[in-house]
Amino acid sequence: MTACAIPNQSDRSVVRLVSGVPDAYRVGAVRIDPPVVLAPMADVTNGAYRRLVKRIAGPGLVVTELISTVALHYRSQKTLNMFDVTEDQRPLAVQLFGADPQIMAEAARIAVCAGADIIDVNMGCWVPKVCKTGAGAAMLRDEDNACRVVEALVRAVDVPVTVKMRAGWDYGHLATAGLARKLEQIGVAAFALHGRFAVQGHSGEADWNLIREMKQALRRPLVGNGDIRSPFDAVRMFQQTGCDGVMIGRAAIGNPWVVRDIVHYLRTGTLLPPPGFEERVQTALIHVCDLARTLGEGRAVRHLRGQLPLYLRGYRGAARVREAIHRAETIRDVEQIFAQARHHLRDEPDPPVWDIGRTPGENVTVPAASRPC
Ligand SMILES: Cc1cc2nc3c(=O)[nH]c(=O)nc-3n(C[C@H](O)[C@H](O)[C@H](O)COP(=O)(O)O)c2cc1C
């Protein structure tokens, strides 16, 4: 890895300082610059969080939580609200799940009308509720239907269609390379590969060799995903796999700064200081206030009980904040808890938002309030 002087950041022609890292990649006509993607995460990447991450970190792409196409078929208002498209998130990918080609095509048209720049198909979710309908990672076991679904989508919309998949259903080799190649022929514009098998859930380590193999098998761009938690992990992902972009999931929950630091490091080869206490608190409050606009105050606070404490992760007294926020009902409660925390934690040194020494494979705790997919 070569890192040198700090370039003028307004100079877009600046040459990458970190070797093996591309400037950007393309999804059809959509340019993803920088080549850093906030992963789709159920109960996490709602509109409020996507806006927040976009503003603080500037990733090249943000993706919605997985959205049920059957629920869209029945025009569920709660599901329609999940689009929450605003200009400041663009480009925005809407991720859909479903196994019925017609219903998927109909949902994709609705998503494009709502403002989606890209339609992403979920072929990675392993939870039984999704897989028993033939959707999510179950599509990896029925390649013919996966192709039918994607073909219907490509025909239905004039925005690019992408696919996020796992390496296969059960442990073994890269079982999905053949499917990905077929999907490429059908017109999929780019792929993301989470380097685990469906049966693994989030256990074990993501195997980046599988991502390298997939990259070699494909002509379209491939985004590498799994266990990226620091700028150095992101660089390693690019260098070890030859991928076109990196996707950050769990490390970014309650932590937009890890994405900010990755974007900044790829652009400049330099590291930023961690955010201070006040910046963390204000960011957490912006998050909950924005979510309250769509969910209402009570639901927003309850929804974020597991995520808000993560903004103060690393301070010695953060456990007390976590306990208190688990009982919060209103934004005023949250403000008061942070005000008390200010009293206790303000003088502590600001902890890093990622660990320099961490290597892929170490466990990350997923907040209880979130549904891993
Ligand atoms: C709470 C949570 C929710 C998730 N929801 C989705 C989802 O809606 N769609 C999807 O394709 N993947 C989902 N995932 C998987 C992530 O997008 C990502 O592939 C996975 O976490 C591996 O990346 P990471 O190691 O950076 O976390 C979810 C993961 C978590 C932890």
162-198 confidence digits (pLDDT tens): 999 999 999 999 999 999 999 999 999 999 999 999 9
Residue type, 146: A
Q: What is the pLDDT of residue 261?
A: 97
Q: Which of 4, 125, 147, 289 is catalytic?
A: 125
Give catalytic status of residue 125 as yes or no: yes
Lowest mean pLDDT among 29-38, 96-105, 262-271, 346-355: 346-355
Closest to 42 (Cα-Cα) out of 89, 93, 82: 82
Assess whether the C-beta atom of 255 lies below 6 angstroms from ligand 1.
no
Convert the pLDDT of each residue in 232-276 to its tens digit.
999 999 999 999 999 999 999 999 999 999 999 999 999 999 999
Other C-beta atoms lying within 10 Å of the C-beta of residue 235? 22
226 Cα–ligand 1 center, Å: 9
For residue 95, give the ligand 1 atom closest to its CA.
Answer: 9
Tell me the two tokens of residue 47: 């509109």
Query: Domains of the chain by range and CATH?
Result: 25-268 (3.20.20.70), 277-345 (1.10.1200)
- Band of the pLDDT at 96, cuts 50, 70, 90? very high
Q: Is 137 exposed, middle or buried (0-12, 13-18, 19+ CB in 10 A)?
A: buried
List Cα–Cα distances, 321 to 193, 251, 352, in angstroms. 36, 20, 18
Cα 72 to Cα 80: distance, rounded to the nearest angstrom: 7
DSSP lists the bridge partners of residue 223 as: 192, 245
For residue 120, give the ligand 1 atom closest to its CA.
Answer: 11
Q: What is the mean pLDDT of residues 48-61?
A: 98
Q: What is the pLDDT of residue 355?
A: 76
5 Cα–ligand 1 center, Å: 35
Q: Whose CA is nearest to atom 15 of ligand 1?
A: 373
66 Cα–ligand 1 center, Å: 10
Tally of helices (H runs) and strands (E runs) in the chain: 14, 10
- Band of the pLDDT at 13, cuts 50, 70, 90? very low
Lowest mean pLDDT among 35-44, 74-83, 339-348: 339-348
Assess whether the C-beta atom of 226 lies below 6 angstroms from ligand 1.
yes
Q: Whose CA is nearest to atom 19 of ligand 1?
A: 194
Q: What is the pLDDT of residue 373?
A: 65
Residue 218, C-beta contacts closer than 8 angstroms, at least 6 positions apart: 177, 180, 181, 184, 191
Q: Return the DSSP state at 355.
A: -
Give strand ranges (E) for 170-238.
Answer: 190-194, 222-225
- Band of the pLDDT at 132, cuts 50, 70, 90? very high
Which of 338-345's residues contact partners 24+ apart within 8 Å by CB, and which partners?
338/281, 338/284, 338/285, 341/281, 341/312, 341/315, 341/317, 342/277, 342/278, 342/281, 344/317, 344/320, 345/277, 345/312, 345/315, 345/316, 345/317, 345/318, 345/321
* pTM, two decimal places: 0.93
Q: Give the mutation target among 65, 194, 227 for probing the ligand 1 site: most ligand atoms within 8 A of CB.
A: 194
